[in-house]
Chain A
Amino acid sequence: MPATSVEREIFIEAPPEIVWGVITEPEQISSWFSDDADIEPRSGMDGTLTWKPGGRGGEVEADLVVPIRVVDAEPFRRFSFRWNHQQGVEPDESNSALVEFRLIEEDGATRLKVVESGIDAVAHDVESSTRYRAEHEDGWEKHFAELLDYLASNAGRAS
Chain B
Amino acid sequence: MTGALAETEDDALWAAVADPTRRRVLDALLERGEATTTTLAEGLPVTRQAVAKHLVVLDRVGLVAGQRSGREVRYAVRPERLDDAAAAMARVAAQWDRRLARIKRLAESVQAEARIDFQHRQGEAR
Q: Interface residues, chain A, CB within 8 Å of chain B? A: 1-4, 6, 8-15, 18-19, 21-23, 28, 31-33, 59, 110, 112, 114, 116, 119-121, 123-124, 127-132, 134-135, 137, 141, 144, 148, 151-152, 155, 159
Q: For A134, list chain B residues within 8 Å (CB).
A: 91, 94-95, 98
Knowing A12-B103, A32-B106, A155-B116, the reply to whether A128 touches B92 (Cβ < 8 A) is no
A129 vs B107: C-alpha distance in the bound complex, in angstroms? 28
Determine whether the beta carbon of A2 is less than 8 Å from that of B99: no
Q: Given the complex, which residues of A lie within 8 Å of B110, measured CB to CB?
A: 14, 18, 21-22
- The minimal Cβ–Cβ distance linking A5 to chain B, given in whole angstroms, is 9
Can you report 29 residue pairs joining A to B where beta carbons are below 8 Å apart? A1-B23, A2-B85, A2-B89, A3-B89, A4-B18, A4-B89, A6-B92, A10-B97, A10-B104, A12-B104, A12-B107, A19-B107, A21-B110, A22-B106, A32-B99, A32-B106, A59-B1, A114-B100, A116-B96, A120-B14, A120-B18, A123-B18, A124-B14, A127-B92, A129-B7, A134-B98, A137-B98, A144-B102, A148-B105
B86 CB contacts on chain A under 8 angstroms: 2
Indicate if the CB atoms of B106 and A8 lie closer than 8 Å: no
Which secondary structure dominates chain A's binding surface? mixed
Q: Which of B18, B104, B109, B113 is in CB contact (< 8 Å) with A121?
A: B18
> How far, in angstroms, from A128 to B9 measured CA to CA in the complex?
11
Q: Is B106 within 8 A of A28, CB to CB?
A: yes
A22 to B107, CA, bound (A): 6
Chain A residues within an 8 Å CB radius of B96? 6, 8, 114, 116
B27 CB contacts on chain A under 8 angstroms: 1
Residues of B within 8 A of A3 (CB): 89
Measured between alpha carbons, how far is A110 from B94 in the docked complex, in Å?
21
B108 at the interface (CB under 8 A from A): yes
B111, A1: Cβ atoms under 8 Å? no
